[in-house]
Amino acid sequence: MSEEKKTRLHGFAGILSKQVEPLNEMEKFKEKFKDTEVKVLLNAKDGKWAAMLIIDKGKIYVEGIKNDPKENINKKNAGWDGFLQTTTNIFLQLFGSDELSTGKVIKKILTRKIKIRGIKHVLVLLQLFDL
C-alpha cells in the first residue's frame, strides 16, 4: 500500500482493518511475519463487502472487495491464497471472543457454517490472534 492514497474501507473490511492494523506497530508481529507473504480472503456472505487480509513481509493491511457478483471473490480474479466464508455473526463470534479455538472452527466447518479453501494459509489467522 506504500504511497498510494488510502481509501475508506466499507463494511466487514473496515471492521477487520481496525482490528489488525495496530499489529504493524508490534515488533513481535514484524519479527514473526518478516518472511511471510499471504493473502486471505474473508467473506461475510450476508454482507456486501469481503475483506482481503494481506500480510507482506512484516506488514499487514486490509483491502475491501465487493462480493457481488461472485466472480469478484473467486481465486482467479481476487488472487487469494486462503479463503474463509461465513456469516458476519459467526465472524464476530470467532474473532471477537478470546476463546478462538480449533475445535470451535472445526465444528462449524463440519456443520457447513464455515467454508474454507487453502486451509494452510487460513491457519495464519490463529497465529495473528495469538499475538
Say yes or no to pLDDT of 91 above 50: yes
* Crossing angle of the two packed helices 88-96 and 102-110, in degrees rounded to 10: 160
Domains and CATH numbers, the chain: 11-130 (3.30.1050.10)
For residues 62 and 19, give the distance between their C-alpha atoms in angstroms, rounded to a whole number.
Answer: 10
Question: In this prediction, what percent of the chain has a pLDDT beyond 90?
Answer: 27
Roughly how many angstroms between the first and final C-alpha of the chain, as a whole number? 23
Mean pLDDT of 112-124: 88
Which pLDDT score is estimated for 104? 73
Where would I find the beta strands (DSSP E) of 3-120? Answer: 37-44, 49-56, 59-66, 82-86, 115-117
Rg (CA), the chain: 14
Say yes or no to pLDDT of 100 above 70: no
Mean pLDDT of 39-67: 91
Which pLDDT score is estimated for 92? 76
Instruction: Round the average pLDDT of the chain to a whole number and report it.
Output: 83
Mean pLDDT of 13-35: 88
Q: Which of 11-15, 51-55, 79-83 has the lowest mean pLDDT?
A: 11-15
Q: Which of 60-64, 83-87, 100-104 has the lowest mean pLDDT?
A: 100-104
- Say how many C-beta atoms besides its own lie within 10 A of residue 22's C-beta: 10
pTM, two decimal places: 0.83
